């Protein structure tokens, strides 16, 4: 964890400008937005560290509501307390609110126009490529060793088999604690145990 950043170091004005920018140019949903947040807040401005961002991501995933907004709230609170949190999330959400209002009007008013349909169709592969790039960027930060790779694979296959996200987060969290607290010789045993647990959950989930 980094040293405490003085609240005076980051101005409210700067928070507004940065999160307005991220909210305006961020496309592709949660993972892509997270990569953009990291690029600006961690790499470029160095307001927080990768470790702090990882904590914010973990907390944001466990809470209800849009998780990207949770990340922004975490960063805003870290830098300027409650005021920073409120200002940051409002600045972040405003561009998408405005854009969605305009696009919804255009779509429902002119949805039968062929060129508009082609534009929306053409956006889909772009979003897919953005998500792939963002996943690689976030993976490079968080998958640092064999243990974190194993946890990532468990989570990946859990999502492939459509196991509940909350269960996946809970099990991977427990697995992470055990991996990093228990001796290394326990790792294989623990992985086998959680593999069996996931199979059991999968069987229960598949039951009508």
pLDDT, tens only, 74-88 = 999 999 999 999 999
Q: Which is nearest to 27 in space by CA: 105, 122, 109?
A: 122
| pTM, 2 dp | 0.62
Residue 183 φ then ψ, to 5°: -60, 155
At 163, is the secondary structure helix, strand, or coil?
coil
Cβ pair 68, 30 in contact under 8 A: yes
Q: Which of these ranges, 42-51, 156-165, 189-198, has the smallest mean pLDDT? A: 189-198
Average pLDDT over residues 27-52: 86
CB atoms within 10 A of CB 100: 11
Q: How far apart are CA 151 and CA 172, in angstroms?
A: 6
Q: Which residue has the higher pLDDT, 16 or 151?
A: 16
Where are the domains positioned within the chain?
1-137, 143-208
């Amino acid at each position: 964890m980094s040293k405490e950043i003085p609240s005076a170091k980051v101005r409210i004005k700067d928070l507004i400008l940065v999160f307005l920018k991220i909210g305006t140019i961020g496309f592709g949903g949660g993972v892509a937005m997270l990569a953009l947040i990291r690029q600006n807040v961690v790499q470029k401005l160095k307001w927080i560290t990768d470790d702090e961002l990882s904590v914010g991501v973990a907390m944001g995933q466990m809470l209800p509501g849009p998780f990207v907004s949770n990340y922004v709230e975490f960063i805003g609170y870290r830098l300027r307390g409650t005021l920073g949190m409120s200002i940051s999330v409002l600045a972040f959400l405003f561009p998408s609110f405005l854009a969605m209002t305009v696009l919804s009007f255009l779509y429902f008013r002119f949805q039968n126009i062929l060129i508009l349909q082609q534009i929306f169709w053409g956006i889909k592969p772009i979003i897919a490529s953005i998500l792939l790039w963002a996943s690689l960027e976030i993976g490079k930060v968080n998958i640092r060793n064999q243990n974190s790779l194993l946890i990532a694979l468990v989570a990946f296959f859990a999502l492939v088999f459509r196991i509940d996200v909350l269960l996946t987060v809970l099990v991977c969290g427990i697995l992470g604690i055990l991996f990093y607290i228990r001796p290394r010789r326990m790792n294989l045993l623990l992985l086998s145990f959680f593999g069996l647990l996931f199979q059991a959950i999968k069987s229960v989930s598949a039951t009508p």
